């Protein structure tokens, strides 16, 4: 199963079109039987050849083996994922630098394989979650995400996303939201 999350720079219609194009390219290349890293490199070549602009997109694309729970992914400048273990500990997956798609012909990707323990939850998110601020201007931040996620070891993926968004909305307390928030969770059944 293919899993993708992305976050395009900037806002408005041109950015939405750019994101739609990147998503369509990933979907098309994913059907070719390539590794996650190969898909991202091909997509980046398409984008940099077709789109001569300053727009770029951060992406994490991975392939989940449903039998082995092995998730092999390539990260192009996107937020590193979090892994909630069944005992409630939250780990930020070790990472190296990765470059966003659309800026350079040759890119460096962070390529990893993680085996999801039974009962674990793997969380992908955009920086809108970490950067969202309360009425005093304090960001929600990575630590709050980890603390909130730590209490969600006994819920499914949708419930984890719903609870994180509800916690974020309560934290915001009506303050203006400057960026979109996207969450993708994978829960490995026991």
For the chain, the average pLDDT equals: 93
pLDDT value at position 14?
Answer: 82
pLDDT tens sequence across 108-127: 999 999 999 999 999 999 99
Q: Which token pair is 28?
A: 């098309």
pLDDT of 53 > 70? The answer is no
| CATH number, domain with residue 50 | 3.60.40.10
pLDDT value at position 50?
Answer: 74
Full domain range(s) for residue 27: 2-187
Domains identified in the chain, total number: 1
Q: Where are the beta strands (DSSP E) in the chain?
A: 2-8, 57-65, 70-76, 82-84, 90-92, 110-115, 121-125, 183-187
Q: What is the pTM of this model?
A: 0.92
CB atoms within 10 A of CB 7: 23
- Is residue 178 within 8 Å of 131, Cβ to Cβ? yes
pLDDT value at position 177?
Answer: 80
């Amino acid at each position: 199963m293919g899993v993708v999350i992305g976050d395009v720079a900037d806002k408005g219609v041109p950015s939405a079109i750019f994101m739609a194009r990147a998503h369509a390219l990933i979907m098309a290349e994913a059907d070719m039987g390539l590794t996650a890293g190969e898909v991202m490199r091909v997509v980046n070549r398409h984008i940099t050849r077709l789109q001569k602009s300053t727009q770029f997109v951060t992406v994490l694309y991975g392939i989940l083996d449903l039998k082995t729970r092995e998730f092999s992914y390539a990260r192009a400048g996107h937020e590193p994922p979090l892994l909630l273990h069944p005992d409630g500990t939250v780990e930020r997956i070790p990472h190296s630098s990765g470059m966003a798609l659309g800026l350079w012909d040759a890119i460096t990707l962070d390529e990893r394989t993680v085996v999801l323990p039974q009962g674990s939850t793997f969380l992908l998110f955009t920086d809108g979650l970490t950067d969202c601020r309360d009425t005093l201007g304090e960001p929600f931040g990575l630590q709050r995400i980890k603390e909130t996620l730590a209490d969600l070891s006994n819920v499914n993926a949708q419930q984890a996303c719903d609870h994180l968004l509800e916690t974020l909305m309560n934290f915001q307390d009506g303050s203006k939201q400057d960026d979109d928030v996207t969450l993708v969770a994978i829960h490995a059944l026991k």
